[in-house]
């Protein structure tokens, strides 16, 4: 149970930078005076190593790629049966 919680937490933490960058880029007009605009608008763009990531929108393309792959899997695989509870066996 704890390992699944940690895996889900790691997935959420991996997705957060892409979502924050997307929101900062999409709502740049609204976020012009905020701290997130200062971080993504000027500071992060000029860091060595990360400037490439922000200049070419790598996070955004990764987020769109995951969304596309998820949609493709959902279309190909179709709706599942869902989760069903198992009945306990009375016998051994």
45, 55 contact by CB (below 8 A) = yes
Tell the residue number behind the tokens 């009375």, with chain if given. 90
How far out from the chain centre does Cα 91 lie?
A: 46
- Greater confidence (82 vs 51) lies with 51
pTM of the model: 0.52
Q: What is the C-alpha separation between 7 and 32, in angstroms, rounded?
A: 35
pLDDT of residue 69: 92
pLDDT at 41: 64
d(CA 92, CA 71): 43
On the question of pLDDT at 66 being above 60, the answer is: yes
How large is the average pLDDT for residues 20-34?
Answer: 76
Give the least confident one: 3-12, 31-40, 54-63, 72-81.
31-40
């Amino acid at each position: 149970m704890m390992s699944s919680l940690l895996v889900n937490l790691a997935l959420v933490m991996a997705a957060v930078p892409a979502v924050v960058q997307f929101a900062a880029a999409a709502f740049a007009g609204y976020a012009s005076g905020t701290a997130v605009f200062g971080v993504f608008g000027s500071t992060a763009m000029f860091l060595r190593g990360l400037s490439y990531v922000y200049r070419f929108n790598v996070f955004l393309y990764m987020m769109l790629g995951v969304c596309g792959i998820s949609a493709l899997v959902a279309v190909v695989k179709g709706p599942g049966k869902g989760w069903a509870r198992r009945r306990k066996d009375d016998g051994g």
